[in-house]
């Protein structure tokens, strides 16, 4: 039988987690990003409200470690935003029946999807020539 040790979190880590939730991020998303239990995060928020939030205290945290924690949290927020934007782009592209970036300008019908763009020039946006068909 092996004995498991409890994870010990620094005060800065706890304060950053609480700040994320106070900043509008959901508790479930924050807990998932930081790989902690939702109940643990709830307890930290409650302790912060009461002014009793304390860190592990066993090890002093270097400025480099604090910067790494801050950058990890920022990266997690940026990744979440990127994922949301990607899903929104796909949703609206599907809804409009249009194409997503990187897809061909020629639809399944073999016609250009954006003929209005092509009328002013001799080639369409897909690179086909109007004059030499």
Model pLDDT for residues 1-36, shown as the tens digit of each residue: 677 777 888 888 888 999 999 999 999 999 998 889
Q: Full-prediction pTM beyond 0.75?
A: no
Domain ranges of the chain: 11-98
pLDDT score at 77: 93
Torsion of CA 45, 50, 56, 59, to 10 degrees: 110
Are 21 and 27 a contacting pair, CB within 8 Å? yes
| Angular region, 51: left φ>0, alpha ψ -120 to 50, beta rest | left
Q: What tokens were used for 52?
A: 């009793």
- The C-alpha angle 99, 102, 107, rounded to 5 degrees, equals 40
pLDDT tens, the chain, 133 aa long: 677 777 888 888 888 999 999 999 999 999 998 889 999 999 999 988 888 887 765 456 688 888 998 999 999 999 999 999 999 999 988 887 755 555 555 555 555 555 555 555 555 555 555 554 4
């Amino acid at each position: 039988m092996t004995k498991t040790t409890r994870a010990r979190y620094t005060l800065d880590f706890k304060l950053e987690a609480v700040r994320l939730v106070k900043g509008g991020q959901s508790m479930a998303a924050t807990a998932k990003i930081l790989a902690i239990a939702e109940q643990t995060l709830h307890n930290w928020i409650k302790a912060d409200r009461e002014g009793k939030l304390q860190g592990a205290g066993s090890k002093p945290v270097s400025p480099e470690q604090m910067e790494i924690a801050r950058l990890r949290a920022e990266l997690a927020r940026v990744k979440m935003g990127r994922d949301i934007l990607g899903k929104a782009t796909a949703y609206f592209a599907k809804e409009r029946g249009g194409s997503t970036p990187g897809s061909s300008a020629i639809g399944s019908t073999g016609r250009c999807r954006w003929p209005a763009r092509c009328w002013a020039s001799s080639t369409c946006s897909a690179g086909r020539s109007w004059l030499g068909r």
